[in-house]
Amino acid sequence: MVRWTFSNKLKWSMELNEIVNFYLFNTPVDNVSVRGKTFKQLGWNKKRLTPLLKKNINFLSSNWIITTIKDIETQIKNKGQFEKVEFEEVAIHINNKKSNIDSFLYAIRCAIAHGSFAIRKHNNTTYYILENKDKGKIKSRMVIKEETLLAIINIVSNSKKFNK
């Protein structure tokens, strides 16, 4: 297994603050944060939210791969995210929660909580490089633009606007 490294210094910004507050402290995934409102409390039915996110967040319709622990390394290699970071939005993770959207947000939350993320600029775009492991086994690898993470927050936090 090739290790991604996360030793670069983080420059705290308003965007990073919003991302950490939402995905870590206020995650809508059930039974993860006592501070967060659940999807239901935010006014969402997850069966409605997932297709809406796929429609509004481009990479989720083509580069969102839900897999198993057994197959995750193969999926990561197939997307070119194994030995180095390719600056193309992708989310590869296992489904370890009740739904794919729960697993996706939980994987982001865990990467942030354990410091397994980096923020890098590529072609003037800010990317978050996220990895989640458990006992040395990769559970997720993601490369997501900062603007995409913020757009997901906007949609999930504003069900009245998007849930029509």
Tell me the DSSP string of 124-140: TEEEEEEEEEETTEEEE
Summarised one tens digit per residue, pLDDT across range 79-137 is 877 777 778 888 988 887 678 899 999 999 999 998 889 898 899 999 999 998 888 88
Q: Residue 115 — left, alpha, or beta (φ > 0 → left; ψ -120 to 50 → alpha)?
A: left
pLDDT of the residue at 23: 96
Q: Is the pTM of this model over 0.85?
A: yes
Which among 11, 69, 57 has a CA at the least distance from the CA of 154?
Answer: 57
Average pLDDT, the chain: 87
Summarised one tens digit per residue, pLDDT across range 14-26 is 999 999 999 999 9
Model confidence at 1, in pLDDT bands (50, 70, 90)? very low
Check whether 148 has a pLDDT greater than 60.
yes
